[in-house]
Amino acid sequence: MKKYSISILATVIAVLITAYFFVILKGWSGSAEINYDYDSEVTTIPTEDTAFGDLFERHYVNDSLPYYIFRRMQDSIDRIKFEKNKGYVASGDGIFIGTVGFEKNLNNDKIGFRPEENDPVMKKMKDTMDNLSSYFPGTSKEEVDKGLNYQRELVVRYNERRNELKEQYKATAEKDYWLSLKGYKTAENTKFFIHNNKYYLAVVQWDSVKNRGDNTSKYGHYVRKEISILYSAEDQKVKIPISKEKYNLLKGFLNVIIFVILFVIVYVYIGLPIQLLLNISRGRPFSRQNNRAFKIMTVTLITLALLYITEPYFMHLLYKRLIPAELWLEPLWPRIYSKLYLFLIAGVIFIIGKAFKRGYRLQQEEDLTV
Amino acid sequence: MPIVVNLDVMLAKRKMTLTELSDKVNITMAKLSVLKSSKARAIRFSTLEQICKVLECQPGDLLEYMEEKDYKKLMGL
């Protein structure tokens, strides 16, 4: 009968963890109720933002339109907004590890580069295309086909030339270098914008709050706050300007770290398990080497999980001086929950390792028993 | 563990080599060496019985308890 009895310790742990998650779930439904109450609050975000070049203006799109037309109009408005901030919010070439990365993109002044406006070859090609009829005046089918083929060929060459010049320009033009930190959020009514190559946050300042029964109405206006970093709400990242030398140095350093981490991961989670399986198949399951392998796997997994979790907070501490309070990192708990499975796997490996350690001791005893 | 195995003394008394003992008790040389050098953690009653039978002695003739400091001195620890 005892064979089928449930472990008391495992039961106690299961009950405690279930209770914990139950409380969390109850908490979530509780917060949903709070949100419901919050619905009664009327928040009037200021629409008058001419000071920011209509960047945040809420364009009215008739939502009774067929969905695809509505979506198209909405997208084109979003594109216009994006264009106004182009280059800066768009990701550049870069390298990331976790939430930290280094990026470079064309300097703001150089973004609107149009090779067709300056290149004489392209100008000539365009002239030819515009006046194609004067080069192929004939009206016969053969002449028309010849003209069309020539036009097609010219378009291809024209595009190739433009891409070639753009690539050349990209390679030589002045660039901006950034240290990028991901995972930053901001309030919906706080906006980032650029004006005269300076970075600003538009923050709502509430002028009045009126309570009418259950309803609360807020009225306010935007104020600008100059900051020294760039923020991309789309990618939820802040970009801190750094010098080219610093960029090259730190990127090199990051490359080394990536290589080391990759090596460690491959060694620990591919090399060691293979070695372990070989030892077991050779009839040496309980050896010092296998014990060591389990220990390394557990410690590495926990270290990597902790590094992943703490990395953004550590970087935030380093650059706290530059990052305004309006931009905040996601809370710690969701980050821990997202990597909870790593801790669970580490726990399982630890338990298996303990069993192997015990086996190793028994093996030693057996070897030294005459 | 301050238990000393006096196997070498008994072997000398019986003028027997470890190889001969190994053949007679059917235990490997390696295992007997571990026992002789007092590195063994445990000894089976069956092994003790066989050794006592071959060497015509008592378990007490083979095993001796020592004080910790004397044991360490003897073992060079």
- At residue B12, the pLDDT reads 92
Q: How confident is the model at residue A36 (pLDDT cuts 50, 70, 90)?
A: very low
Task: Report, in this order, helix, strand and coil percent for chain A, each rounded to 5.
Answer: 55, 20, 25
| Closest CA of chain A from B28, distance in Å | 9
- pLDDT, one tens digit per residue, over A111-137 is 556 777 778 888 888 888 888 778 777
- Residues B68, A317: Cα–Cα separation, whole Å: 56
What is the rounded average pLDDT for all residues in chain A? 79
| Closest CA of chain A from B70, distance in Å | 23
Chain centroid to CA A370: how far? Answer: 63
Residue A109 in this model has a pLDDT that exceeds 60: no
- pLDDT, one tens digit per residue, over B8-37 is 898 999 899 999 999 998 889 988 898 888
Are A369 and B42 an interchain contact pair (Cβ–Cβ within 8 Å)?
yes
* Contact residues, chain A, for B43 at CB < 8 Å: 369-370
What DSSP character marks residue A190?
Answer: -
- At residue B73, the pLDDT reads 81
* Contact residues, chain B, for A361 at CB < 8 Å: none
What DSSP character marks residue B38?
Answer: T
**Under the phi-then-psi rule, with left for phi > 0, alpha for psi from -120 to 50, and beta for the rest, what region is B56?**
left
Is residue A130 classed as helix, strand or coil in its secondary structure? Answer: helix
Query: Which of these, A252, A233, A131, A253, lies nearest to A186 by C-alpha position?
Result: A233
| Closest CA of chain A from B44, distance in Å | 6
- Residues A146, A256: Cα–Cα separation, whole Å: 57
Q: How confident is the model at residue A35 (pLDDT cuts 50, 70, 90)?
A: very low
- Looking at per-residue pLDDT, the higher value among A268 and A170 belongs to A268
* Contact residues, chain B, for A365 at CB < 8 Å: 41-42
Range picked from A22-31, A142-151, B38-47 for highest mean pLDDT: B38-47
Q: What is the mean pLDDT of residues A88-116?
A: 70
Residue B65 in this model has a pLDDT that exceeds 60: yes
- As a whole-number percent, the residues of chain A with pLDDT over 70 amount to 80
Which strand (E) or helix (H) includes residue A34?
helix A8-38
- Residues B34, B29: Cα–Cα separation, whole Å: 9
B30 to chain A: nearest residue by CA?
Answer: A370
* Contact residues, chain B, for A370 at CB < 8 Å: 27, 31-32, 34-35, 40, 42-44, 47
Query: Which of these, A222, A184, A174, lies nearest to A49 by C-alpha position?
Result: A222
- At residue A83, the pLDDT reads 53
- Residues B50, B52: Cα–Cα separation, whole Å: 6
Chain centroid to CA A2: how far? Answer: 53
User: Does B30 reach chain A within 8 Å, measured CB to CB?
Assistant: no
User: Which residue's structure tokens are 């070897």?
Assistant: A367
Helix and strand numbers (H, E) in chain A are 10, 11
pTM value is 0.62
Are A365 and B31 an interchain contact pair (Cβ–Cβ within 8 Å)?
no
Contacts across the A-B interface (CB distance below 8 Å): 23
Query: Which of these, A278, A347, A369, lies nearest to A287 by C-alpha position?
Result: A278
- Cα pseudo-dihedral B27, B28, B33, B35, rounded to 10: -30
Chain centroid to CA A164: how far? Answer: 30
